[in-house]
Structure 1
Amino acid sequence: MRVFVAGGSGVLGRRLVPQLVGRGHEVTASTTSAAKLGVIEAMGAQAVVMDGLDAAAVGRAVASAEPDAIIHQMTAINPAHAGKPDIKHPDRWFAGTNRLRVEGTDHLLAAAQAQGVTRFLAQGYASWNGLREGGWVKTEDDPLDAFEGTPTAPVMAAMKHVEDAVTAHGGTVLRYGALYGPGATDDQVEMIRKRQYPLVGRAQGYSSWIHLDDAASATVLALEQGATGVFDIVDDDPAPASEWLPYLARVAGAKPPRRVPVWLARIAAGDQAVMMMTEGRGFSNAKAKRELGWILRYPSWRQGFEEGLR
């Protein structure tokens, strides 16, 4: 297929594009920086500079690529765009990404409709943001938490827009877990090494993780099989912060994380950090494995942190 990857120079795009090329697809990938055109071309793809917030530019780039499928991987989480991680103010930290998930998604869908492209895949998120009630592990049938009344609400509203708009188009939303691998967790590891990433309270809140290579392989399978709907793309091992954070610290060669009370964490790090650490709900990958025939290279973050972060 001819595949247009919007956001092909990001940390996931850099693992996805080579897999697509390796499977024989003709790939055009976009970046916001002319300096990164060579990065994309080195992966065997055609490269184009495109501002995902410029409807006309998106329309021109997609029309020029004449794709059979579009994969939306645009974010603005990189420190060059979003600054240093600010978990206390996710509404500010993710402001650019929120716009790409709303306006950027709409521009890509409009371009897809103009070109008659029905195969459309987009990036979602499923790590700790399941509805905070009932069991600790959720499926695609369970709603995501809107986190209404908190600074996280705009982030979740943008994700809901992606899911609603893309599924209405007949497309596919791949809810990736917390991504790790080359370039994906550098900021977190730095904080852990500085002992600035503490355990909060009992730290019983769950998260789901996924290595970049496994996220990319699931995306390729969903594309090639014409899968539609929502898929939780996570590993086999959803786990509480009390397990994964000390493990990650050890792998990173850091001292064990500090432990702080909930009230102090709320003041220092905000609502999202407390909710993630104490009430987060992880996700199951059963549907993706069953319907896509997906086999993970890193079934658990335990193996993945050891091998994928070194």
Structure 2
Amino acid sequence: MKILLAGASGAIGQALIPLLIEQQHEVVGAFRNPAHADRVKSLGATPLILDALNAQAVSKAFAEIKPQAVINQLTAIPPRIDLRHFDRDFALTNQLRTEGTRNLTTAAANAGVEKFIAQSFAGWPYAPKGITLKTEEDALDPAPPPQLKPTLDALETLEHTVLRESKFTGIILRYGPLYGPHTSIALGGNGVPEGTTIEDIRNHKISLIGQGTGVWSFLHIHDAATATVAALTQAQRGIYNIVDDDPALVSDWLPYLAECIGAKPPMHVPNAIARIVVGEHGIALMNDIRGVSNEKAKRELNWTPKWTSWRQGFREALS
């Protein structure tokens, strides 16, 4: 199958390309930064410098390449996210998820693409009430904190744009928070932090807010890639949660992560102080969000995460 992979030089893209090549797919890897060309080529894809926000350039590329499938992994998340300015740090990613996705889907429909897979997110976008483990049928948050609303709006726009197009099979993969190579939770050579989350925990810049009752469903970057490969052949039109099997309380995973890297346990910060220093969204992320069920993906995609629990995964990613 001829596949156009948008966001090929990102964390998931780098894990995904070798798996697609191994399955005998022909991959054109699109990215915006020319400096990433050698990286994408070395993984086995044909590099394509492409600005997804340029509708004319996207249309021209699709007409020339004529891909059978598109995988949209476009993001522009900065290396270090300032939680106090979450909306600012995700502004460009939100533009890629709205305008960029619109350009890609329009070009895909015109070029006769058969399948279109797009990255979304599982976890805090779900309504923070009701059942502990959210399924694809559960509602997203109708009233998120102001700092999170632009990002949630962008995710909803992306999903609606992909799913409502009748000319191809639209598939949404809601990945959980990622860890592993090229993510914010990873170590490079000689134990040097590859990700800023590790660096911030070592420097005591991440605290446990409130009681830490929020539930996170993590995902190793390799498992994100294997689920995406499975979706190419197994998925029907619709939404799939892609997470591990072990939903984690913040009060469990954050101290455990600190222990894995030999750092002191995180400080506790009361909600009242966090509301002033970070904002209401910081309290929500650490105390209110629900875990996510992966049963649909396991059943319909015939997919099982290799790292079924973040406990094992964190240890291995940080060893």
Cα offset for 1:128?
Answer: 3.0
Name the residue aligned to 2:266: 257
Conserved? CA contact 1:129–1:276, under 8 Å: no
For structure 1, list consecutive stretches of 5 or more residues without a partner in the other structure.
Answer: none
One-letter code aligned to 1:35 = A
Name the residue aligned to 1:65: 65
Name the CA distance, whole Å, in 1 between partners of 2:36 and 2:144. Answer: 38
Distance 1:149 1:214, change over 3 A: closer
Distance 1:78 1:22, change over 3 A: farther
One-letter code aligned to 2:171 = T
One-letter code aligned to 2:251 = S
Name the residue aligned to 1:168: 164
Indicate which of 60, 85, 93 corresponds to 1:97. Answer: 93
Deviations 1:45-67 (A, max 9, x none): 10010111111111122222221
Name the CA distance, whole Å, in 1 between partners of 2:70 and 2:27. Answer: 10
What is the SS of the residue equivalent to 1:88? helix
- Which TM-score applies when normalising by structure 1? 0.96
Cα offset for 1:149?
Answer: 5.4
Over aligned residues, Cα RMSD in angstroms?
1.2
Cα offset for 1:34?
Answer: 1.2
Name the CA distance, whole Å, in 2 between partners of 1:141 and 1:226. Answer: 16
Conserved? CA contact 2:66–2:112, under 8 Å: no
Name the residue aligned to 2:126: 130
| Pairing 1:181–2:180 present | yes
Name the residue aligned to 2:216: 207
Indicate which of 105, 126, 129 corresponds to 1:109. Answer: 105
What is the SS of the residue equivalent to 1:302? helix
| Pairing 1:18–2:6 present | no
How does 1:117-156 map onto structure 2 within 5 Å?
117-148=113-144, 150-156=146-152
Conserved? CA contact 2:26–2:45, under 8 Å: yes
Name the CA distance, whole Å, in 2 between partners of 1:55 and 1:267. Answer: 41
Conserved? CA contact 1:130–1:282, under 8 Å: no
- Which TM-score applies when normalising by structure 2? 0.93
Name the residue aligned to 2:244: 235
| Pairing 1:191–2:190 present | no
Name the CA distance, whole Å, in 1 between partners of 2:92 and 2:83. Answer: 15
Q: Which runs of 4+ in 1 moved over 4 A?
A: none
Name the CA distance, whole Å, in 2 between partners of 1:136 and 1:268. Answer: 28
Indicate which of 236, 253, 268 corresponds to 1:244. Answer: 253
Conserved? CA contact 2:78–2:89, under 8 Å: no
Deviations 1:212-248 (A, max 9, x none): 0000000000012243200000000111100111111
Deviations 1:66-87 (A, max 9, x none): 21000000101033xxxx3121
For structure 2, list consecutive stretches of 5 or more residues without a partner in the other structure.
Answer: 185-194
How many residues align structurally? 306
Cα offset for 1:129?
Answer: 2.9
How does 1:257-276 map onto structure 2 within 5 Å?
257-276=266-285
Conserved? CA contact 1:289–1:295, under 8 Å: yes
Cα offset for 1:273?
Answer: 1.4
Name the residue aligned to 2:38: 38
What is the SS of the residue equivalent to 2:227? helix
Name the residue aligned to 2:191: none
Conserved? CA contact 2:174–2:239, under 8 Å: yes
- The 10-residue stretch of structure 1 (132-141 or 68-77) with the greater mean CA deviation from structure 2: 132-141
Name the CA distance, whole Å, in 2 between partners of 1:144 and 1:187. Answer: 28
One-letter code aligned to 1:229 = G
| Pairing 1:74–2:74 present | yes
Cα offset for 1:253?
Answer: 1.9
Name the residue aligned to 1:54: 54
